[in-house]
Amino acid sequence: MSENQKPPLSIIIPIYNEKENISDVITEVIEKVTPLYDLDLIIIDDGSEDDVISVLESAKQTHPLLQVASHPKRSGKSAALRTGMLLAKHLWVATMDGDGQDDPQNILNMAETINTNQVNEIGLVAGNRTSRTDGNNRKIASRMANGLRKNLLKDNCPDTACGLKIIPKELFLALPFFDALHRYLPALTNHLGFKTINVPVTNRPRASGQSKYSNIGRAFAGLFDLFGVVWLMKRTQSPAPHFLMKSSLIEKTIK
């Protein structure tokens, strides 16, 4: 099968100080995804301080399909995803983390639930980790945060913090941007009238390095963001983006 016959898919991997992991992640993504998809792979270095950019430049020489962009200073995961969306070549874009905990096979399983050549009533495919490898403290904090979020936002997503998601590029860019946007994609996607599909995914241990988040820091920021999203959804009654509604790419009218 030629490249032109394969369905298209962009993948964005935002990273911060993942010099020891990213080379293996890139290799695994390319080996698993390119046999089935016309892959557009984008790495966004979010102001790393570990000289990961040298690893990425070397990877570009080996893998010409790779796109690399770098923020001059750390701007956050949502900002990195937005930069990647602006660079993405294809209609549907998958996101995953660069620490090696996400298996690219999960992206293939998630992509099977949609047609990556078009958009219909589905606006988001969200990965839900079935066996998290985080410590008990993070699991407990996550469970409490998820319970509060689901109660307030009614987003019907068990694990919004999972880095594995697939969303149309134009839909992501149509959403109001703020620092923690990536955690509220199910709620905001549903608010615009699209459906979210939840797919079970695996979660592997980190090969090296450490998490970039603390439970306390995440909890305070999460509460602030959560109430902000509640306010935003109450103050806006927006239909699905008109450019998706009127596009020949869309199969059905969103109601």
- Label residue 51 by pLDDT band (50, 70, 90): very high
Q: What's the predicted TM-score (pTM) here? A: 0.84
**155-169 pLDDT per residue, tens:** 778 888 899 999 999
Check pLDDT > 70 for residue 243: no
- 249 pLDDT band, cuts 50/70/90, is very low
Q: Band of the pLDDT at 235, cuts 50, 70, 90?
A: confident
What is the DSSP track for 148-197?
Answer: HHHHHH----S-TT-S-EEEEHHHHHHSPP-TTGGGGHHHHHHHTT-EEE
99-133 tens-digit pLDDT: 999 999 999 999 999 999 999 899 999 999 987 66
pLDDT number for residue 250: 46
Q: Residue 104: what pLDDT?
A: 98
Higher-pLDDT residue of 84 and 240 is 84
Q: Which of 92, 89, 56 is nearest to 165 (CA)?
A: 92
Share of the chain above pLDDT 70, in %: 77
Is 51 in contact with 23 (CB distance < 8 Å)? no
Sign of torsion, CA 209 215 219 221?
negative
Total residue count of the chain as it appears in this document: 255
Angle between helices 22-33 and 52-62 (to 10 degrees): 30
Give me the chain's average pLDDT, please: 85
CATH architecture under which domain 7-245 falls: Alpha-Beta Complex (3.90)
Residue 143 to residue 137: CA distance in whole angstroms: 10
